[in-house]
Amino acid sequence: MENTTLRGEHSDIDQVFIEFWLRAKNNSTFWILDGPLNAIICITVIILNILFLIVLQRKEMRSVTSFVLSAIAVADLLRTLISLPVSLYICVPYFKSYTPYHWCVYLKMPFLLVSNVFYTSSVWLTLYLGVFRYILVCHPIKAKLWCRYKIAIGVVILIFVISLFSYVCLLFMRKITRVVFWNEEEKRSVSSCFVDVVDTWHNYIFIQTILEIIFVQIIPCVGMLFITCKLVYTLKSAARSRKAMSRQLNRSRNESHQTTLLLIAILIAFLVFEIPHSVLQVFIILMINLHRYHFLLSYLRLFDTILIQILYITSTFNFCIYCTMGTKFRLTLKKIMSFN
């Protein structure tokens, strides 16, 4: 049943959030994407990231790079844990088309705020990982000063703190509104709610969205693209002079070379799926505010939902890439799995 009371007079940006439950109830495709499929992806991400963290904490795997990778895994893990309850609720047989009141409190605080904080932290930590490796490979002298544990710990904490304060304003921008309507299926009045924008903040919600696209998607993507190209160029240049090195030095350089290749693969995997999502977000915002091509919004939202599920899957890429390309990582993982 489609509830017109829940729709009211709201901005189109908020309408997307309000319709989250309605679309999953009334559309089987959205129900699969937001419910069972997302739940399976979340459980997979949780298991693999926990395993990834266990391997990285082994004595033979500890390094500054492993510390940054662990911070990324923690951010992805916490973001997935926040999203899992919503997907599991959509899967249950008694899932309703209206939003229960107690779920609005969860959607306003953990789901909307905390998940955004951890997603932003994960993006910027991935960018920092690329910058960190760029300094090690391209500026080895400066690396002794800038690529230390104390610096890495400070940067990781700073990223989490800035991400948190960037979204604190959402607590004041949005409010929980209770509504009562007649449910034709249950033949009774139902008390429900939705998360709405406070009237005094309506003019700022668009600015908040634009800033989020710029600083969470566009700038990190451009930075990672530049760093990836620079690392690839540096590796090709270093390959020409590798024959002149001694055997022991070659062995050390080969290990560093493999680590750099691993991080390049991580950056490329992130960019392949993050760039289309960023472009789509910009296109949707333009369509909404220019009031054009609204007939395409339903298809774009479906495509956006699919991209979001893919972005969740990318949280497992670090583990998969290291399993595929990292010799030391595979050996350590085998020791753990064989309880050796």
What's the CA gap between 67 and 84, in Å, rounded? 26
User: Would you state the structure tokens that stand for residue 305, as one six-digit string?
Assistant: 């939902």
Q: Work out the average pLDDT over 195-218.
A: 75
Residues 275 and 224: beta-carbon distance below 8 Å: no
Q: Which domains does the chain have, with CATH numbers?
A: 12-337 (1.20.1070.10)
- What was the pLDDT predicted at 274? 83
**Mean predicted lDDT score pLDDT of the chain:** 76
Full-model pTM: 0.81
Residues 316 and 49: beta-carbon distance below 8 Å: yes
Residues 72 and 318: beta-carbon distance below 8 Å: yes
Query: Half-sphere exposure of residue 34, counting CA atoms within 13 Å on the CB side?
Result: 24
Q: Work out the average pLDDT over 189-218.
A: 73
Outline where DSSP puts E strands in 32-92. Answer: none
Q: Identify the helix (H) or strand (E) that includes residue 302.
A: helix 297-313
pLDDT tens track for 23-66: 666 677 778 888 888 899 999 999 999 999 998 888 888 888 88
Q: Nearest to residue 84, comparing CAs of 124, 122, 118, 127?
A: 118
What's the CA gap between 280 and 301, in Å, rounded? 9
Task: Say whether pLDDT at 195 is over 80.
Answer: no
Show Cβ contacts of residue 312 under 8 Å, excluding neighbours closer than 6 positions.
38, 41, 42, 45, 80, 83
Q: Nearest to residue 74, comparing CAs of 124, 121, 42?
A: 121
- What was the pLDDT predicted at 23? 66
**Amino acid of residue 22:** L
Pairwise pLDDT comparison (29 vs 201), residue with the higher score: 29
- What was the pLDDT predicted at 1? 33
- What was the pLDDT predicted at 128? 93
Show Cβ contacts of residue 225 under 8 Å, excluding neighbours closer than 6 positions.
271
- What was the pLDDT predicted at 207? 77
pLDDT tens track for 114-140: 888 999 999 999 999 889 988 888 888
